[in-house]
Amino acid sequence: MKKGNTVFFKNKPRISSFAAICGSKEKEGVIGGYADVTLDDDMYGESTYEKAECKMLTNAVSLAIEKGGFKERDIDVMFSGDLLNQIISASFAARDYDFPFLGVYSACSTMSESIMLAAMLVNAGYIGRAVAATGSHFASAERQYRYPLELGCTRPPQSQWTVTGAGGCVITDAKEGIKITSATMGRVCDYGVTDVNNMGAAMAPAAADTFMQHFRDTGSSPEDYDMILTGDLGALGSRIVKDLTWEKGYDISENHVDCGEIIYKVIETEFQGGSGAGCSAVVLNSYVLSKMRAGLYKRILFAATGALLSTVSSGQGESIPCISHAVDLEY
């Protein structure tokens, strides 16, 4: 059933299991105690950062499957994507498995888009179990979008730090687990921000738009949620999204939490917090879902946000179109 841009899942697909891997810097923060694997070496024993990213993603997927008590042959399809050109990490991770792979690209909102797509297929009854996973790596993202790692340049105060980590979950038609009740498909929003260092300000309108669409379609209000979770708006973007929704009559300031804002322990060189596809994936699949399963949170609106730019578009002076997909989780 669909109303507005929101799809309602009658059969309530479940998140049966989840797993997350995080890098050495992320380990220091709140998720360090909840991630399944924490790395001391961000190379993860590989020769390149791209291979390390791929290995993190593979291990996150394998762990999620294993933790749910599933075997590889039980999985019907995997949805995954990442930040690198031609989503190589996800595709290369998928070649290790026998099950089919559907690549998605939605920048940093890949996690919520994968969950949403997996839930749609499971709800419709086409498949029984699907994996949704994504990840990112600071060094590989930095190389693709910014400067070489060793280049001595300053970072502007609006900038964020790409999270090294990967997370995945298994979405099934089981009768227990965390319910996915509805999902709102995001629209691409562009308010004309051109500063590639200010992703928070670029993505906040997309998050606000999806939130309000979701509230309108489901008839819910911000108070109905224990937590409204955004992906990687950072400290600045979080302030803006609260203002934007407040302006339209929704007050999310009480229960809004941003993964990027909470992931690092000390804001030092990260300035506004974490970013990247791995940011929301790691926080959701470690801290948030385990707390949810423990009964701390009953209902969460998870909306990761993504900036759909490339180095070419920003080089040509284009503004940054952004997107956000929301998934309504209940336990």
Which residues of this chain interact with other proteins, rule CB under 8 A? 47-48, 50, 143, 147-158, 191-193, 198, 201, 205, 236, 239-240, 243-244, 247, 269, 271
Q: In the bound complex, what is the minimum distance in angstroms from residue 109's beta carbon to other proteins?
A: 20
Closest C-alpha among 76, 13, 63, 4 to residue 37: 63
Distance of CA 67 to the CA centre of its chain: 20
Q: In the bound complex, what is the minimum distance in angstroms from residue 211's beta carbon to other proteins?
A: 15
Both tokens of residue 64? 């999620």
Between 143 and 299, whose beta carbon lies closer to other proteins? 143
Both tokens of residue 248? 């339209």
Which residue pairs from 145-150 have beta carbons closer than 8 angstroms and sit at least 24 positions apart in sequence?
145/83, 145/196, 145/311
| DSSP per residue, 286-306 | IIIHHHHHTTS-SEEEEEEEE
Closest C-alpha among 276, 42, 258, 40 to residue 142: 276
Q: In the bound complex, what is the minimum distance in angstroms from residue 163's beta carbon to other proteins?
A: 19
Q: In the bound complex, what is the minimum distance in angstroms from residue 194's beta carbon to other proteins?
A: 9
Classify residue 31 by its DSSP letter. G
Between 69 and 157, whose beta carbon lies closer to other proteins? 157
Q: In the bound complex, what is the minimum distance in angstroms from residue 143's beta carbon to other proteins?
A: 6
Between 69 and 156, whose beta carbon lies closer to other proteins? 156
Between 168 and 234, whose beta carbon lies closer to other proteins? 234
Q: 125 φ, ψ to 5°?
A: 90, 5
CA atoms within 13 Å, Cβ hemisphere of 234: 26
One-letter amino acid at 288 equals V
Distances (CA, A) of 52 to 45, 87, 101, 136, 197: 7, 14, 20, 10, 25
Are 302 and 284 in contact, with CB atoms under 8 Å apart? Answer: yes
Q: In the bound complex, what is the minimum distance in angstroms from residue 158's beta carbon to other proteins?
A: 6
Q: In the bound complex, what is the minimum distance in angstroms from residue 72's beta carbon to other proteins?
A: 30
Between 76 and 195, whose beta carbon lies closer to other proteins? 195
CA atoms within 13 Å, Cβ hemisphere of 177: 21
Between 192 and 295, whose beta carbon lies closer to other proteins? 192
Between 66 and 142, whose beta carbon lies closer to other proteins? 142
In angstroms, rounded to a whole number, what is the distance separating the alpha carbons of residues 134 and 108? Answer: 9
